[in-house]
Amino acid sequence: MKKSIWVSIVLICSLVLSACSSSSSGNGDGGDKKGSDKLEIFSWWTGAGEEDGLKALIKLFEDKYPDVPIENAAVAGGAGTNAKAVLASRMQGNDPPATFQVHGGAELNEGWVAADKMETLNDLYEKEGWNDKFPKDLIDMVSKDGNIYSVPVNIHRGNVLWYNKKIFEENGLEAPTTFDAFFEAAEKLKAKGITPLALGDKEPWTATHLFETVLLGKLGTEDYGKLWTGELSFDDAKVKDAVDTFKKMLGYINEDHSSRNWQDASQLVANGEAAMNVMGDWAKGYFVNDLKLKVNEDFGYVPTPETEGQFMVITDTFGLPKGVSNADDVKKFLAVLGSVEGQDAFNPLKGSIPARIDADVSKYDQYGKDTIEDFKEAKLAASLAHGSAASEGFLTKVNQAVNIFVTQKDAKQFVDSLKSAASELK
């Protein structure tokens, strides 16, 4: 009897204590904000290369500001979808991380800025003199109503066609730059028993990614951009043409596409089972770092058909959420992130190119150098599959429509569902 009373007292005490300790740490510095004053960097960079880049960036910051404690709060998995789910619940609960990774474009502007969760960074851009250091199109992607809300750290290109050099040489083929050339090459490869186009749409965004490059090729940057503002309808003849071309391309993909992710699809190209693959240039990192292939020896790259001179931008950016207690420290971090030094520490490791136009080109490999050149001159287009062109809600619906289309190949139904999803765009 006595013993059990003691046990219960101990239990109750420990409960009370644990409750106290969690609340006391929250009120540590007398501020009303939850969490410690650690500078929490929230991202989904946990893969090879990208994690190294992030660490290099953090190290650079620590060398400059040794007295600011920094914490790498990366959430692994799902190409950012897990991290986005965690982020959404933290933002809804008014417990934002100090700064977080977000794709420039709609994901930032229609998401967090529209929800009134972000601070403007105009003064930071002013102070650092960044307004002419980033391309204007890019600053527009992280701005809403004339206010800037985040700092781009890198640029990935979405419209890249990767091909197996050996297969192309053996069959006397040239890398296709038009859709006609693509289908001609695909027909020849198919006759030889080689899968012309590798696709891994276990996660449906990869098929959407392929579709958006076709859209860009058929519409051009200007009309492509009009799709998201509602100026061009999805039942426009050009969109229908793109849908038919996409459908035709789906006739040349590997049969087991729905059991593969994008890495598995890239692997098909790497080991010669498939000839081509459309993927963003993070695939280069996968070819080089994971599969130990050589650029321009084992695999080659061209812009996807009819997108020469156009650049599907995927940019990772970091912003300042409202309601963080250490806003000044966050701005220090963002300043490092946006500096030439910061961008050149991060991007060569991550395999992307810097968002600034004055970065040190010599630090990048041949693919990086080519892409930096292209980026300077090309017209920029926002990626739909990666949340830059339109809201996540619209993207979810498009992904569903694409997933159905890949199997049913019903162009009319596909256009109809795109159109009804577009009613959500303003």
Partner 1 sequence: MEPVIVKNTKTVKSPVKTMKKRMLSSDQLLAIGFLLPSLLLIAVFVYGFISWTGYVSLSNWNSLVPDFSFAGLKNYDFLFSDFRFQADLRNTAVFTVLFIGAIIIFGQFLAVLLDQKIRAESLFRNIFFFPMALSFVVTGVVWQWLLNPSTGVNLFLSKIGLESMWYTDTNILAGFKWGKIEFGVPVAITAVVIAAVWQMTGFAVAMYLAGLRGIPDEVREAARMDGATEFQIYRKVIIPLLRPITVSVVIIMAHISLKIFDLIYAMTGPGANFVTDVPGVYMFEATFRGNYYANGAAIAVIMLLSVAVFIVPYLIFSRRKAES
What is the nearest approach in angstroms of partner 1 to the Cβ of residue 205? 10
CB 165, CB 298: distance < 8 Å: yes
Contact with partner 1 (CB under 8 A) among 392, 411, 416, 425: 392
Residues contacting 13, CB < 8 A, separation 6+: none
What is the nearest approach in angstroms of partner 1 to the Cβ of residue 70? 27
Asked whether position 352 contacts partner 1 by CB under 8 A, the answer is no
Nearer residue to partner 1 within complex by CB, 113 or 232: 113
Nearer residue to partner 1 within complex by CB, 103 or 157: 103
Supply the Cα-derived Rg of the chain in whole angstroms. 24
- Pairing assessment for the beta strands 147-148 and 143-144 based on DSSP bridges: antiparallel
- Encoded one letter per residue, x for contact with partner 1 by CB under 8 A and - for no contact, window 401-420 reads --xx-xxx------------
What is the nearest approach in angstroms of partner 1 to the Cβ of residue 405? 9
Find the binding residues for partner 1 in span 4-33 (CB under 8 A). 8
Q: Round to whole Å and give the CA distance between 195 and 45.
A: 32
What is the nearest approach in angstroms of partner 1 to the Cβ of residue 218? 24
Asked whether position 308 contacts partner 1 by CB under 8 A, the answer is no
Nearer residue to partner 1 within complex by CB, 155 or 275: 275
Nearer residue to partner 1 within complex by CB, 27 or 92: 92
Print burial letters for 186-219: b (CB count within 10 Å at least 16), e (below 16): beebeeeebbbbbbbbebbbbbbbbbbbbbbbbb
Q: Round to whole Å and give the CA distance between 183 and 306.
A: 13
Asked whether position 400 contacts partner 1 by CB under 8 A, the answer is yes
Q: Round to whole Å and give the CA distance between 286 and 269.
A: 12
Contact with partner 1 (CB under 8 A) among 16, 17, 48, 115: 115
Print burial letters for 390-406: b (CB count within 10 Å at least 16), e (below 16): bbeebbebbbebbbebb
Contact with partner 1 (CB under 8 A) among 51, 52, 140, 203: 203
Contact with partner 1 (CB under 8 A) among 40, 119, 201, 306: 201
Asked whether position 202 contacts partner 1 by CB under 8 A, the answer is yes
3 burial type by CB count under 10 A (0-12 exposed, 13-18 middle, 19+ buried):
exposed
Q: Which stretch binds partner 1 (CB under 8 A): 61-69, 180-188, 323-331, 397-405?
A: 397-405
First to last CA, the chain: 69
Helices 411-422 and 237-250, interaxial angle, to 10°? 130
CA angle 19-25-28, nearest 5°? 140
Residues contacting 106, CB < 8 A, separation 6+: 228, 382, 387, 388, 389, 390, 391, 392
Nearer residue to partner 1 within complex by CB, 310 or 383: 383
Mark residue 287 as left, alpha or beta (left: phi above 0; alpha: psi -120 to 50; beta: remaining).
alpha
Asked whether position 51 contacts partner 1 by CB under 8 A, the answer is no
Nearer residue to partner 1 within complex by CB, 80 or 351: 80
Cite the beta strand spans of 2-53 per DSSP E. 39-43
Asked whether position 85 contacts partner 1 by CB under 8 A, the answer is yes
Contact with partner 1 (CB under 8 A) among 43, 54, 84, 249: 84
Contact with partner 1 (CB under 8 A) among 397, 415, 418, 422: 397
346 burial type by CB count under 10 A (0-12 exposed, 13-18 middle, 19+ buried):
buried
Nearer residue to partner 1 within complex by CB, 255 or 297: 255
Find the binding residues for partner 1 in span 244-303 (CB under 8 A). 255-259
Q: What is the binding site for partner 1 (CB under 8 A)? A: 8, 81, 84-85, 88, 91-92, 111-112, 114-116, 201-204, 255-259, 391-393, 395-397, 400, 403-404, 406-408
